[in-house]
Homo-oligomer: A and B are copies of this chain.
Amino acid sequence: MERTLVKDTLNKVGKTVTVKGWVNTKRDHSKIVFIDLRDRTGLVQIVGTGDLLSSLKPEDVIAIEGLVKVRPEKLVNPHLETGTVEIEALKMTVLSPSSELPIDLGKETLEVELPTLLDHRSLSFRHPKIQAIFKLQAVVIDAFRKAMVAKDFLEFQAPAIINAVPEGGAEVFKVKYFDKEAYLSQSPQLYKSLLTTAFERVFSVNQMFRAEPSTTSRHLTEATSLDAEFNFLESWEDVLDMEEYVVRFIFKEVEERCQKELALFEATIPLMSNKFPILKLREAQEIIFKRTGRDCREEKDLAPEDEREICAWAKEEKGSDLIFVSHFLTKKKPFYVYPDPADPTYCLSVDLLCRGVEWSSGGQRLNDYDTILKNVKEWGLQEEDVALYLQAFKYGSPQLGGFALGAERITMYILGLKNVREASMFPRDMERIDIHLSAQ
């Protein structure tokens, strides 16, 4: 008999159906056994005789042929989408038996520490709350693409292997490339910028690589980046407007499509005011100084505690979980940043912070060939290492800018996860690539 998906059993009352899935939980009352059967669409209760069902174990894969019945009102389960029905099992087939589980998947929350979770990564994916993380992440990424396509951006596939590291090589992974050396891309920045000189508007969902010898809760060595870049800017604020549009678009889609996932984490979409507030770095530092007495006014960047403080300010004073911080120090940024004509010490780069952490960086880039070439030399780079980049800007190139958002960070901070590793299906860090590396 053709398979009926769990969520469709609601429309099959009085009919005999075959459902297939995993034994999520079992309650055995000896003569009568209750199974919560799980498939990709949810859970449904199976009820059957001990003879038929008592041998089953959690995570056995089974097919159940049975009659869909309405539950008596007092037995309706409001926590289950299919809670108004149950299936009276007539026939059961084990399609694939499970071994005994090393972790308990039957609880509402997986009560394990992060290393245990990751040691059991494959199994953890079966837990509805873990699945919710990655369903939401898929919506974030899909929404990003939709937002860009709606604004006439062309999707491109950013390469991972690069031949040089023009942005500095300390935190880059080296690749043995036949008899040469190559690297893994830290960002598709140069590629997306050069592409604007032909396609005007481009975006990319890509893997980026950072060899940061860091084990913080916020860093991965491989992560998914949502990159956008466009030109014919009228003003550098076009970049802010585009980014704000994209972030709002993503939140709207998540709100519409992920109610169930948000509810599982008791999570809410970040608070937004009519317009995301924006501060220059020095303004932000002044505010932090006034609020906390901590003097960071000469620092070149915001420290993590500064990011938290300025986000607290934005929420209290502007009613916004999100805030742009702009005008970082030109000399501390890559060669392509656009100095503010009003004060070239600072540049038209901008970070987007949300809920205490940086979500994105972006800004306007240099588009004048001679200035770019001068900076390449001033920043101590080799011309041949940025050959394709220089070529793009030599032959007519409008004013451009863009931004990149981190998919894992967005997921993490929407859902309130404690560690970014939870928001990556296969998190890589100094100590782990699927398995703990010291175990090799």
Total number of A residues with any Cβ neighbor in B under 8 Å:
91
Distance to closest chain B CB from A389 (angstroms): 7
Contact B175 A40 (CB under 8 A): no
A161-B209, A180-B440, A433-B161 known; A101+B395 contact, CB < 8 A: yes
A33 to chain B, nearest CB (A): 17
Q: CA–CA, A426 to B158, complex, Å?
A: 8
Which of the 9-residue segments A118-126, A258-266, A336-344 touches chain B? A118-126
A-side residues, CB < 8 A to B, are: 3, 20, 22-23, 39-40, 59-61, 95-99, 101, 120-123, 125-126, 131, 134-135, 138, 141-142, 149, 152, 154-157, 159-163, 173-178, 180, 182, 184, 191, 194-195, 197-201, 205-207, 209, 211, 213, 221-222, 224, 232, 367-369, 384, 387-389, 391-392, 394-399, 407, 425-426, 428, 430, 433-435, 437, 439-440
Chain B, residue nearest A190 (CB) = B434
Whether A398 pairs with B20 at a CB distance below 8 angstroms is: yes
Cα A356 to Cα B270 with chains together (Å): 52
Classify the secondary structure of A's interface with B.
mixed
A-B contact pairs, 11 of them (CB 8 A): A59-B395, A59-B396, A99-B394, A122-B197, A126-B198, A135-B154, A157-B425, A159-B207, A160-B184, A173-B175, A173-B176
**Nearest-Cβ distance from residue A263 to partner chain B, whole angstroms:** 19
A392 vs B434: C-alpha distance when bound (angstroms): 13
- A96 partner, pick from B20, B39, B159, B368, beta carbons under 8 A: B368
Contact of A160 among B135, B222, B384 (CB under 8 A): B222
B123 touches A392 (CB 8 A): yes
Cβ of A155 and Cβ of B180 under 8 Å apart?
no
